[in-house]
Chains A and B, each alone.
Chain A
Amino acid sequence: MNENELHAAFALVRDGDKDEFAHLYSEMKTPVFTVISRIVRSRAMAEDITQEVFVKLYVSPPPPSIKHLRAWIFKMARNLAIDALRKKEAVDLEDAQDLSDDSGDGIAARMDIEAAIAALSCTERQIVTLHLNGGLTFSDIAAIVGVSLPAVYRKYRKAIQSLREKLNGGFV
């Protein structure tokens, strides 16, 4: 959903339109859940936080004065995920591997993107997933994560390079 579509959707949701909310949910559930999952690295936690995000979006939808609704949604999702992480700092690589569908039987070697992402630092994970899955600009991400724009670029490049190396089995 682009910004205009989000503004139109929330205008209806603010009036209690449940059908429009269902439409909004179907459009946003995947990127929101992906971003949250990659921050907390636990499917169970991600399910709970996703539920909290969408219920909040319905009960207290963003006011019309918010210009960048997409960034606003992901900022809320990210903040709830970070809060949850602080409360329960845990989750090892096994949990992270649970995040991907394990349907790769018969394939000689299967790329485990989630495991590779899980090996990044928390800030790198946020930057990568907010950009690639959330569709946010680096400027928005800098504001959300609270680091300078050049630092976001630097960390993103480092993270992509690291993912490349891991996914290529150390060969680039």
Chain B
Amino acid sequence: MKKILICTVAAVLFAVLCVPVFAEADSFPTAWELYLYWEENDAYPAYVTGVWTETGGLDKLTIGVLNTPAGVAGKAEILSLIENDDSVAFGSGAYSKKYLNAVMEQLVPYFESGRGLAWGGVNDMTGRITLGILEDKVSDPDTLAMLEEMRAQFGDVFVIEYTGALVTTLELPFTDKTALALEDKRPYFAIAAILAFLCLLTAVFVRRKRHTVALQTSTGEVLTDAEPLTVRQTEHAVRQAQLQPSAQTEQKIFDAIAKK
């Protein structure tokens, strides 16, 4: 009798303590759902450096993790959260996306300073922040001084882009002489840019050969001409195809309210 009582108490305790834990551990079917959860709740773990797709679809997302033991442990955690392991691939990045978002917020004064910083954004694929510098300010001493300040404050978090070239702040020229040397290399960047553009044109041409029906929303907006809808276009279509109540309904509502 005593044994039965002990077993019963143990079973009840187990159930009470474990059920909430199991409920919390509800997993995500694919990496896409996990990504949506992180985005919506601003809940990126500290070891994640970014999320992107290398397949052009949502069936498989690449999640960048830090090149540290925390990143390795993070991979295991992600795999334990996702039911379909084939929906995720892993990449690596230098800095946590959470940290990069925080750094971006601290860059506002630099954007407002008019010292040559044209734009900036977190690049998920590199795990760094890409900064766009106005071409005519590339060798401007004030712009270089600003970048040096930023390097002193944030280290090599940034990559700088101008005429398509990417260099980290550690590689930046802080003298006019080095800046001129970099300018000499620009024709190569131009050739690379032209080649990339030609590849893009080819890709667009190939895609347009895939004929599907022309699609239009109920409000008359043409969504696609000769290509299948993407997920984003599908969402856009649903968002745009809104419905309006009739004028009679509106009249009935305001008649009812007038009597109140």
Within 8 A of A (CB), among B227-247: 228-231, 234-235, 237-239, 241-246
Contacts of B216 in A (CB 8 A): 104, 107, 110-111
Contacts of B27 in A (CB 8 A): 150
Contacts A/B (CB < 8 Å), 14 sampled: A30-B244, A37-B243, A50-B249, A51-B256, A59-B260, A103-B220, A104-B218, A109-B215, A113-B218, A129-B238, A132-B238, A133-B239, A157-B29, A164-B234
**B163 contacts A by Cβ under 8 Å:** no
**A29 contacts B by Cβ under 8 Å:** yes
**A168 contacts B by Cβ under 8 Å:** yes
Is the pair A99, B243 in contact by a Cβ cutoff of 8 Å?
A: yes
The 5 A-B pairs at the shortest CB distance, nearest first, are namely: A100-B218, A109-B213, A153-B33, A111-B215, A113-B241
Is the pair B218, A168 in contact by a Cβ cutoff of 8 Å?
A: no
Looking at the assembled complex, report how far the CB atom of A19 sits from the nearest CB atom of chain B, in whole angstroms. Answer: 11
Q: Knowing A51-B252, A128-B238, A172-B228 touch, does A139 contact B40 (C-beta < 8 A)? A: yes
**B41 contacts A by Cβ under 8 Å:** yes
Looking at the assembled complex, report how far the CB atom of B149 sits from the nearest CB atom of chain A, in whole angstroms. Answer: 36
Given pairs A47-B246, A111-B215, A150-B33, 16 additional interface contacts (CB within 8 A): A21-B257, A22-B254, A30-B243, A47-B245, A55-B256, A59-B260, A103-B220, A108-B213, A111-B216, A129-B238, A132-B235, A133-B238, A138-B40, A153-B29, A153-B36, A171-B228
Is the pair B242, A133 in contact by a Cβ cutoff of 8 Å?
A: yes
Q: Which listed residue (B40, B217, B228, B244) contacts A33, Cβ 8 A?
A: B244
Looking at the assembled complex, report how far the CB atom of A88 sits from the nearest CB atom of chain B, in whole angstroms. Answer: 18
- Total A-B residue pairs with C-beta atoms closer than 8 Å? 134
Within 8 A of B (CB), among A99-154: 99-101, 103-104, 107-114, 117, 128-129, 132-133, 137-139, 148-150, 153-154
Looking at the assembled complex, report how far the CB atom of B137 sits from the nearest CB atom of chain A, in whole angstroms. Answer: 37
Is the pair B253, A113 in contact by a Cβ cutoff of 8 Å?
A: no
Interface size on A, residues (CB 8 A): 55
Cα distance, A36 to B58, chains bound together (Å): 29
Contacts of A171 in B (CB 8 A): 212, 228
Which A positions have Cβ atoms within 8 angstroms of B?
A: 18, 21-22, 25, 29-31, 33-34, 37-38, 46-47, 50-51, 54-55, 58-59, 99-101, 103-104, 107-114, 117, 128-129, 132-133, 137-139, 148-150, 153-154, 157, 160-161, 163-164, 167-169, 171-172
Contacts of B58 in A (CB 8 A): 157
Is the pair B234, A163 in contact by a Cβ cutoff of 8 Å?
A: yes
